[in-house]
Amino acid sequence: MASADDIRDTVRRYVEAVGSGTAADIVALYREDATVEDPVGSEPHVGHAAIRKFYDVIEPLERSSELFTVRVAGDSAAFSFRIVTRFGEQSFTLDPIDVMTFDENGLISSMRAFWSPDDMVTG
């Protein structure tokens, strides 16, 4: 099982990559057979190719991110963070809570993102 420190490190790198990395940077944190359910209740993306396609959408956007709280339990973590996307004068701020499981190397095995469109704040 990955250590709590390894898990915290992957979470920190994930939030950084979501805020300023490429889709490839993000996908490299996932296991090849990982699943991504974002938001919870939607059809999961399974495997690197599908996950890459999912994150390709945000790659060209002007973004920033901030990690708030991480809670590690066993091989899992829950964490709250902020992602801000900007289009010229307009910004979209979302503070999801994500839940992840990790393999023995600290790679993400599964991700589930808890948020709904109501949580999006425009400014």
- Specify the residue, 21 or 108, whose C-beta has the smaller distance to a second copy: 108
Interaction mask 57-86, a second copy, x per CB under 8 A: ------------x-xxxxxxxxxx------
Q: What whole-number distance in Å separates Cα of residue 113 and Cα of residue 116?
A: 9
Is there a contact between 59 and 25 (Cβ–Cβ < 8 Å)? no
Q: Among the candidate windows 28-36, 43-51, 84-92, 108-116, which touches a second copy by CB under 8 A?
A: 108-116
Q: What whole-number distance in Å separates Cα of residue 82 and Cα of residue 105?
A: 26
CB of 71 to a second copy, least distance (A): 4
DSSP, res 91: E
Per CB under 8 A, 99 contacts a second copy:
yes
